[in-house]
Amino acid sequence: MSSLTFQNVSYQYDAEPIDIIDNLSFTIEAGSFHSIVGASGCGKSTIFHLINGLLRPKSGSIRIDGAPIGDKKHYCGYMPQKDLLFPWRTVGENLGLPLEIIGGYTKAECKELIADALHNVGLDHCHNKMPHELSGGMRQRAAFARTMLTGSDLLLLDEPFSALDFLTGITMQEWLLEQWEQHKKTIIFITHNVDEALFLSQRIFAVTSTPINQLTTIDIPNGYHHSRESLASPEISALRNDLIQSLRTNVIL
Ligand SMILES: Nc1ncnc2c1ncn2[C@@H]1O[C@H](COP(=O)(O)OP(=O)(O)OP(=O)(O)O)[C@@H](O)[C@H]1O
């Protein structure tokens, strides 16, 4: 399991004269489920790109288990909003990608790892299918399986269910919780959807300032059952109202 620490991190895009992230510090404990919720364009994906190394902070440090990310390899799996399965590869071949990147696996080992990963997400029968033959929910499960095959303990999930219809979306939320409970990964989940964050998370980081110089922390009470019924409880309803109120102060129109 991996913990993550941002220490005084700042970032601005070269094309933009202003900071997107300004002296931001926070910690995420190993094995936890955090959501980041915030208005469109506030910098949530930028935080992910700083964690996965696509962007480098202008100042400050990002550490995994206490070590700078520059010293680490294959420390996180990243699942973007669009599944980005390669349309010319079968589902099985798509899942094999992270194994090819990491290297060192025999053909037989790859075959077994891919078969296990497909089984884990309920897609045993899809190994030889092309991505366009899958439904939206199946594609997201395949993309999640591919992210799991990075072998990383830290998973960054960027709005993975936002393009799905409502019922598929809530089914996928329940499925993701089961995956988290089973595999004990550290998950950071970006969403615009307040109820999705309340349903899934142990802690929510709300982006309530631009540039992002702090994250407003909302802790979900211990003993919360992560069920649809609990979402309607007075305690969670009060949290929902607080969260919406604080997010509204930062809407960029
Ligand atoms: N490559 C880039 N070059 C310049 N500016 C960028 C770049 N990528 C993002 N930005 C700007 O940085 C800001 C934050 O973008 P980011 O994608 O992190 O926001 P977000 O909160 O993830 O948005 P959304 O919820 O809409 O996906 C936005 O103003 C965006 O226009």
For the stretch 79-92, pLDDT in tens is 987 768 999 999 99
**Residue nearest (by alpha carbon) to ligand 1 atom 30:** 41
Six-digit token string for 101: 């990147």
Q: Residue 13 — very low, low, confident or very high, per pLDDT cuts 50/70/90?
A: very high
Q: Where are the domains of the chain?
A: 4-33+47-230
**Residue nearest (by alpha carbon) to ligand 1 atom 2:** 13
Global pTM reads: 0.90
With vertex at residue 18, the alpha carbon angle to CA 16 and CA 22, rounded to the nearest 5 degrees, is: 130
Residue 43, exposed/middle/buried by CB under 10 A (0-12, 13-18, 19+)? buried
Six-digit token string for 252: 């960029």
Best of 22, 44, 192 for a ligand 1 pocket test (most atoms within 8 Å of beta carbon): 44
pLDDT at residue 17 tops 60: yes
For position 231, what pLDDT does the model report?
Answer: 86
Tell me how many helices (H) and strands (E) the chain has: 8, 10
For the stretch 159-191, pLDDT in tens is 988 878 888 888 888 888 988 988 889 999 999
Our measurement of the distance from residue 253's CA atom to the centroid of its chain's CA atoms, rounded to an integer in Å, reads 25
Write the DSSP assignment of 30-80 as a string of letters.
Answer: TT-EEEEE--TTSSHHHHHHHHTTSS--SEEEEEETTEEGGG-SS-EEEE-
Report, at the CATH architecture level, how domain 4-33+47-230 is classified: 3-Layer(aba) Sandwich (3.40)
Q: Which among 120, 188, 117, 199 is positioned nearest to 155, based on CA atoms?
A: 188
User: Is there an atom of ligand 1 within 6 Å of 19 CB?
Assistant: no
Helix (H, G, I), strand (E, B) or coil at 117: helix
For the stretch 241-252, pLDDT in tens is 989 988 887 655
Locate the ligand 1 atom nearest the alpha carbon of residue 46 and give its number.
18
Region 205-232 average pLDDT: 87
Best of 22, 42, 159 for a ligand 1 pocket test (most atoms within 8 Å of beta carbon): 42
Instruction: Identify whether the C-beta of residue 23 lies closer than 8 Å to the C-beta of residue 9.
Output: yes
Q: Which among 32, 29, 76 is positioned nearest to 54, based on CA atoms?
A: 76
On whether ipTM exceeds 0.90, the answer is yes
Report which residue type is found at 111: K
Instruction: Identify whether the C-beta of residue 7 lies closer than 8 Å to the C-beta of residue 192.
Output: no
Considering the chain, what percentage of its residues have pLDDT values greater than 90? 56
Six-digit token string for 225: 């059952």
| 100 φ/ψ angles, rounded to the nearest 5 degrees | -65, -40
For the stretch 44-100, pLDDT in tens is 999 999 999 999 999 999 999 999 998 888 889 999 877 689 999 999 999 999 999
Six-digit token string for 91: 């589902």
Six-digit token string for 207: 């982006």
Question: What b/e sequence results for 169-179 when a residue is b if at least 16 CB atoms lie within 10 Å of its CB, and e otherwise?
Answer: bbebbebbbeb
Strands across the sheet containing 203-206: 76-79, 154-158, 186-191, 33-37, 203-206, 216-219
Instruction: Identify whether the C-beta of residue 51 lies closer than 8 Å to the C-beta of residue 4.
Output: yes
